[in-house]
Amino acid sequence: MSPVKPPYLGAAYYPEDWPLEQVDDDIRLMLDAGMNVMRMGEFAWRRMQPAEGVYDFSWLHHVVDRLGRAGIAAILGTPTATPPIWLTERYPEVLAMHDTADGIRAQHGGRRHVCPNNPAYRELCAGIVARMGEEFGHNPSVIGWQIDNEVYPHPSRRGCRCPVCVDYFHRWLRDRYGTVEKLNQTWGMDIFSLAFQSFDQIPYPRADTWHHPSLLTAWMSFQADSYIDFIHSQAEVLHQYTDAPIGTDMMPTNGISHYDMTRKLDVAQFNHYNSADNLWEAAFWMDYLRPLKDRPFWNTETSTCWNGSTAANGYREPGFCRANSWIPIALGGEANLYWLWRAHWSGHEVMHGSVISSAGRPLHIINEVKEVAAGFKAAREFITGTKPVANVALHFSELAWWMYEFQPMVNSFSYGRRIIEGVYKPLHDAHVMVDVIDPNAALDRYSVVLSPMLPALDEAGLRARILPWVRAGGTWVVGPLSDVRTVDATKYVFAPFGSLEEWTDTYCRYEIPADPHDFTLRWNDGRESSGTVWYSAFELRSTDAEALATYTDGPLEGLAAVSRTRVGRGQIILLGTLPRPEDMRTLLLDIGIDAVPGVTSNLLIVPRKGVGRSGMIVVELENRPAMVTLEHPMRDLITGMQYEGIVDLEPYSVLVLIDE
């Protein structure tokens, strides 16, 4: 068995649902499609352990070995998202409580219906994970592991509310605040006579109660921490048996910290199902994954042609699969896996798109899959020998996600939408390489950092780290609605901000929500436009501060909307409002952020560098013609063609260009 080399192209494979004698037919089709990895086992607990104390891995050994002989690697998933019914009947206490009414537990029949904190479930999970490690930990065909499946606390369910979780939540609060008196003081619980006399009196949040936002934020942070600890406990077991990289497939949500989750894992893994309308958004999440680990991430799930459960939806036009498959590879990943290989013949997701049908017939996108496989192979040396490099960073916070969930601050405000569409999209359209970073991330590799709508600067000690970075020469673009809350989701009482007035030599005269209308501002170059979301208006208190934009109407007239303050060798750009996307793009370019000129906005342009080589990967994202201007001759590794000057691109086309 020769080792399989990245980049990896594969799919989720569920041989437990099919006759084992069919495996060779599947392998023949996999090889024809150019695939080199299959992801298996994530929901197969019953096949692995048909009864307590009884294990059967013979079927999985058969599949892994047959794939390995054919040169196809395996990624194995721990099956802890779907416990078998013998387990939930013998240990009913492991089932989660999601319903509002007390004492109602989830039913057997779906997935992720178990409590991540239940000690019995943790022990049962450790058992099946250890047995998998013993069986496959040193199998050369197994190149990686996926723990569980898509864990995060859904805001509508607000996590598990069983007695174990409530007890653990009280312990979590006690560890954080020490005494209930300190909690009452920190949260401001004299309002509505909400103060508690003991930690045991603190309730879990119910949908029929108007709960304090500090309680809601703390509860969901605790739920996220519970899932992270659940995944880490499995990783601790697996690490005893294997040196292959271990991860867990995350979703496009920041309701659980990807930074904290991957801290004790080896590889960041990610699932997404973007459509033609928002394919560019996948780039945001790849830019978030890339800085998490010092190794390429894996895109563990994406659709080939449409999504679906018992009904199909979201047909993708020809070329979509090609462009979608290249996005993670362009942005620093080394794997793209489809969900799924062979369509299910029954069950919850029987109509989801796949590579081949449940009847074993390749779908209409098979030639695109083959084309992607050939392109990965042709560009392998360049892909594995180079990586994207960004000197601009954009903060994205799990704590902010939950704070804004329970304190939107402005009607209809969505933190994720505003970050992605209002701040990231202008950078993307200007083809600026950006790392989307957690507040815990180091800042030294960046010359520009954006911290929009980051309410708590004390998160991860950022307040203590950001000012020295600015003084050393960094440019910090911060606001609006940044530094306006403590980490406990409460306001400051001495000023609207914790530190920003002091650091920027400004005084916030007024604050007004963008509801029901927006206010006008004039930029220094004479442009007039309105802001969005929120309006903080500033008086400048020293000659080190200057207005870049000034309000022209209403009670804010004449006050600064955007200011710049020189701090040491660096500068702070303070946003009192979130500029319109075109104004945000102009502002960022004016402060010296490098963009790629002569390129239409519908392209993803990813410059990549390595030892002795450089180039870029170009992907058209919107199914329309595009254009890029090359400053010097370059060669496409996929086709071998030479390009220079103005290059016209077809819809959904991909170029892997190297410098000649």
Query: What are the backbone angles phi and psi of residue 574, rounded to the nearest 5°?
Result: -100, 120
Residue 315, CA distances (Å) to 338, 362, 363, 622 in order: 15, 16, 13, 14
Buried-exposed string 523-540: b where 16+ CB fall within 10 A, e elsewhere: beeeeebbbbbbbbbbbb
Residue 101, pLDDT score: 59
155 pLDDT higher than 80: no
User: For 143-157, 158-172, 416-430, 456-470, which range has the lowest pLDDT when averaged over its residues?
Assistant: 143-157
Tokens (6 digits) for 228: 């992270």
Q: Which residues, listed in sequence order, are joined to residue 616 by a DSSP beta bridge?
A: 607, 657
**Which tens digit of pLDDT belongs to each residue from 480-510?**
999 999 999 999 999 999 999 999 999 999 9
Cα dihedral value 148, 153, 159, 163, nearest 10: 50
Buried b (16+ CB within 10 A) or exposed e, 567-578: beebbbbbbbbb
**15 preceded by cis ω (within 30°)?**
no
Task: Please state the φ and ψ torsions of residue 607, each to the nearest 5 degrees.
Answer: -65, 140
Supply the pLDDT for residue 99.
Answer: 66
Of 70-74, 203-207, 462-466, 537-541, the range with the lowest mean pLDDT is: 203-207
Given this model, what pLDDT does residue 597 score? Answer: 83
Backbone angles phi, psi at 461, to 5 degrees: 70, 25
**Does the pLDDT at position 301 exceed 80?**
yes
User: Residue 2 above 60 pLDDT?
Assistant: no
Angle at alpha carbon of residue 445, lines to 443 and 448, rounded to 5°: 70
Would you say 169 and 202 are in contact if contact means Cβ atoms under 8 Å apart?
yes
User: Which run of H or of E encompasses 26?
Assistant: helix 23-33
Q: Furthest-apart CA pair in the chain: how many Å?
A: 79
- 519: phi then psi, degrees, rounded to nearest 5: -105, 155
pLDDT tens digits, 517-526: 999 999 999 9
Mind listing the domains of the chain with CATH numbers? 8-153+242-378 (3.20.20.80), 392-590 (3.40.50.880), 603-659 (2.60.40.1180)
Query: What is residue 143's predicted lDDT score, i.e. its pLDDT?
Result: 97
Three-class secondary structure assignment of 256-274: CCHHHHHCCCCCCEEECCC
Mean pLDDT (whole number) for 583-595: 90
Q: Per-residue pLDDT averaged across 214-225, rounded?
A: 97
The predicted model gives 600-627 an average pLDDT of 96
Length of the chain: 660
Distance CA(436)–CA(392), nearest Å, equals: 9
Please write the tens of the pLDDT for every residue from 316-367. Answer: 999 999 999 999 999 999 999 999 999 999 999 999 999 999 999 999 999 9
Percentage of the residues of the chain whose pLDDT score is greater than 70: 99
Of the given ranges (9-18, 108-117, 556-565), which has the lowest mean pLDDT?
A: 108-117
* Rounded Cα distance, 481 and 594, in Å: 26
199 DSSP β-pair partners: none
Residues 71-115: tens digit of each pLDDT? 999 999 999 999 999 999 999 999 999 865 567 899 998 899 999
CA angle 237, 269, 135 (to 5 degrees): 35
Task: Decide if pLDDT at 287 tops 80.
Answer: yes
In terms of DSSP bridges, do strands 545-551 and 520-523 run parallel, antiparallel, or are they unpaired?
antiparallel
Q: What is the pTM of this model?
A: 0.97
Per-residue pLDDT, 1: 46
Residues 6+ apart with CB under 8 A from 33: 355, 362, 366, 369, 370, 373
pLDDT score of 464 more than 50: yes
**177 band by pLDDT with thresholds 50, 70 and 90:** very high
User: In three state form, how does the secondary structure of 62-76 look?
Assistant: HHHHHHHHCCCEEEE
Local confidence band at 512 (pLDDT 50, 70, 90 cut-offs): very high
Averaged pLDDT score across all residues of the chain: 96
